[in-house]
């Protein structure tokens, strides 16, 4: 089942950065890793998917619905973590989750403890977020993304600032979500992390999709995602697909 | 495939969430206490023989309402709007709400409704305490027209709704909580200033109707100015809220 279908998505900012003619698909149970340098358009693509930005051109379909028409219905089943999340510092971890959960039509408060346990923050549930480290905030943002038991996860550099334990926890958690049939779109600068987590990768360069491939194929051909990425990004822009 | 989520349900959920956020912040828990002090301070000042502030105790509910509707509550509305719109965008918190299953329209209306609900709560505190202070000052309960007082406080929600919509618009246009607050205040001051400078057209400014309640507290209800005021306030609210929704909807976060 196709969860994400993006066709010729274009979004340009005043500084001419953004994305151009991006087309990708993600099936249920697949993890698509977006690779690319800063400013290559990874976050822009994710923001367009979650309705934070309005595309200039192109089509986005999530769960067969169009975000410009059915965004609330899409977000009922989508977990997002875009850039460094601005959590509510004056609330505890538990209150942050309860508050964000209250936006959903069907919210079972019992899930709060479950997701806190999953991200390893159960012991800190009563602590105010203003006292949290960057890594703890990332964990909490991940817990928020997991609240709706998502069919799609959109995660923008989710392990930034996380310690080794946190990264391992994240990897395990993502595997569980993948096995459950959740589709994931993930961006990261860490090629090694992508190798372990993704089923597919897409390389973005200057807002253009430079290449997309299945991870086993990449590993077979190049040995590592890093070699693949460096090879693809060395290509002349005219060769971009 | 298309699946519509009802707008009313979304607004209800957003309002509840925004009120939760408001009351979770110390400053907004403190404001009702500060507001409760106003009638008490006025009572103490009134009791001092050399005080500059003198008022007739039976008029205290209206005196307080006038101060609240023209100064205190617009300030609180600007503060709340600055926090809930520009402040949340500045701190990145808006992204959390915008990626939940609620539309931007529901989010904006829910926030304005939460602001108005908070202001209504402050009005209730003021009304109850002003009545208590009036009775403590020696005015017999029978001398007070309870229906008029309740009506006056209820009617004042209308100009406050227009002020909240204006403050929300100012905050949506601003880049930070501070500039949102300042812009809200400047907007209200400018409108008041224009009304003073051009009295012949002052009736078109919604800020002129903070004292709308005065039309119902006399011996007879002044229907014509009351209906004009209600119409103008509803019209202003519609224009301000629609503009705010359009600006909020177009904002990229």
List beta partners, residue A205.
A208
Q: Which of B169, B249, B111 is nearest to A103 (CA)?
A: B111
Top residue of B99, B103, B252, B253 to mutate, by most chain A CBs within 10 Å, is B99
Tell me, yes or no, whether B143 lies in a domain: yes
Sign of CA pseudo-dihedral A184, A13, B107, A139: positive
Q: Which two tokens stand for residue A19?
A: 């994305």
CATH at residue A224: 3.40.50.300
ipTM of the complex: 0.92
Residue A241: per-residue pLDDT: 47
The CA distance from B237 to B241, in Å, is 6
The CA distance from A60 to B221, in Å, is 58
**Mean pLDDT (whole number) for B163-174:** 98
Using one digit for the tens of pLDDT, what is the confidence trace for B133-168? Answer: 999 888 888 888 899 999 999 999 999 999 999 999
Tell me, yes or no, whether B159 lies in a domain: yes
CB proximity list for B103: less than 8 A, separation 6 or greater:
A71, A72, B5, B7, B10
Tell me, yes or no, whether B72 lies in a domain: yes
Q: Is B96 on the interface with A (CB under 8 A)?
A: yes
Tell me, yes or no, whether B121 lies in a domain: yes
- In this complex, which of A51, A87, A103 lies closest to B17 when CB atoms are compared? A103
Q: Is B98 on the interface with A (CB under 8 A)?
A: yes
Total domains in chain A come to 1
Q: Rounded mean pLDDT of chain A?
A: 93
Q: Which residue of A has its CA nearest to B84?
A: A88
Total domains in chain B come to 1
CB proximity list for A128: less than 8 A, separation 6 or greater:
A89, A90, A91, A92
Q: Which domain holds residue B188?
A: 7-250
**Mean pLDDT (whole number) for A219-235:** 91
Tell me, yes or no, whether B35 lies in a domain: yes
Q: Do B88 and A53 touch (CB under 8 A)?
A: no
Chain B residues lying within 8 Å of A66, measured CB to CB: 2
Q: Which two tokens stand for residue B121?
A: 């709560």
Residue A235: per-residue pLDDT: 65
Distance from CA of B98 to the nearest CA of A (A): 7
Q: Which domain holds residue A232?
A: 2-239
How many other β-carbons are positioned within 10 Å of the β-carbon of residue A51?
22
H-helix or E-strand spanning residue A20: strand A18-27
- What is the interface size between A and B, counted as CB pairs within 8 Å? 97
**Mean pLDDT (whole number) for B16-29:** 98
Using one digit for the tens of pLDDT, what is the confidence trace for A25-57? Answer: 999 999 999 999 888 999 999 999 999 999 999
Q: Which residue of A has its CA nearest to B91?
A: A86
CB A26 within 8 A of CB A32: yes
Tell me, yes or no, whether B1 lies in a domain: no
CB proximity list for A110: less than 8 A, separation 6 or greater:
none
CB proximity list for B190: less than 8 A, separation 6 or greater:
none
What one-character-per-residue DSSP string does A48-90 give?
HHTTSS--SEEEEEETTB-HHHHHHHHHTTEEEE-SS----TT
């Amino acid at each position: 089942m196709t969860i994400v279908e993006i066709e010729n998505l274009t979004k340009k900012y005043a500084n001419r950065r953004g994305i151009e003619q991006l087309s990708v698909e993600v099936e249920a149970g697949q993890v698509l890793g977006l690779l690319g340098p800063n400013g290559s358009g990874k976050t822009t693509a994710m923001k367009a998917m979650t309705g934070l930005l309005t595309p200039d051109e192109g089509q986005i379909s999530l769960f067969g619905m169009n975000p410009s028409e059915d965004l609330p219905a899409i977000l009922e089943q989508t977990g997002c973590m875009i850039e460094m999340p601005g959590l509510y510092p004056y609330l505890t971890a538990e209150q942050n989750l309860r508050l964000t959960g209250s936006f959903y039509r069907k919210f079972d408060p019992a899930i709060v403890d479950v997701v806190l346990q999953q991200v390893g923050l159960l012991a800190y549930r009563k602590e105010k977020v203003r006292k949290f480290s960057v890594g703890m905030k990332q964990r909490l943002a991940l817990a928020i993304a997991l609240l709706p038991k998502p069919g799609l996860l959109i995660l923008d550099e989710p392990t930034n600032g996380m310690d080794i334990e946190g990264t391992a926890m994240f990897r395990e958690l993502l595997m569980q979500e993948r096995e459950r049939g959740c589709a994931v779109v993930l961006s990261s600068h860490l090629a090694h992390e992508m190798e372990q987590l993704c089923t597919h990768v897409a390389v973005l360069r200057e807002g253009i999709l430079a290449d997309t491939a299945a991870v086993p194929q990449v590993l077979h051909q190049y040995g590592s995602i890093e070699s693949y990425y460096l090879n693809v990004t060395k290509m002349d822009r005219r060769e971009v697909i | 495939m298309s699946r519509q989520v009802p707008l009313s349900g979304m607004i209800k959920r957003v309002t509840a969430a925004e009120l939760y956020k408001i009351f979770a912040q110390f400053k907004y828990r403190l404001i009702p206490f500060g507001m409760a002090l106003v009638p008490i301070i006025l009572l103490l000042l009134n009791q001092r023989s050399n005080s500059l502030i003198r008022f007739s105790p039976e008029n205290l509910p209206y005196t307080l309402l006038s101060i609240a509707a023209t100064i205190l509550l617009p300030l609180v509305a600007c503060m709340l709007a600055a926090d809930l719109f520009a402040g949340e965008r500045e701190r990145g918190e808006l992204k959390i709400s915008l990626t939940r299953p609620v539309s931007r329209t529901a989010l904006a209306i829910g926030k304005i409704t939460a602001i108005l609900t908070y202001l209504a709560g402050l009005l209730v505190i003021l009304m109850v305490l002003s009545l208590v202070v009036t009775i403590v000052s020696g005015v017999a309960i029978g001398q007070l027209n309870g229906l008029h007082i309740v009506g006056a406080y209820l009617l004042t929600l209308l100009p406050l709704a227009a002020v909240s919509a204006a403050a929300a618009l100012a905050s949506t246009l601003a880049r930070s909580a501070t500039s949102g607050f300042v812009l809200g205040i400047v907007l209200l001051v400018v409108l008041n200033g224009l009304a003073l400078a051009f009295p012949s057209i002052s009736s078109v400014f919604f800020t002129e109707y903070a004292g709308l309640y005065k039309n119902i507290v006399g011996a007879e209800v002044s229907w014509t100015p009351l209906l004009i005021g209600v119409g103008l306030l509803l019209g202003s609210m519609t224009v301000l809220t629609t503009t705010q929704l359009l600006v909020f909807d177009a904002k990229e976060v």
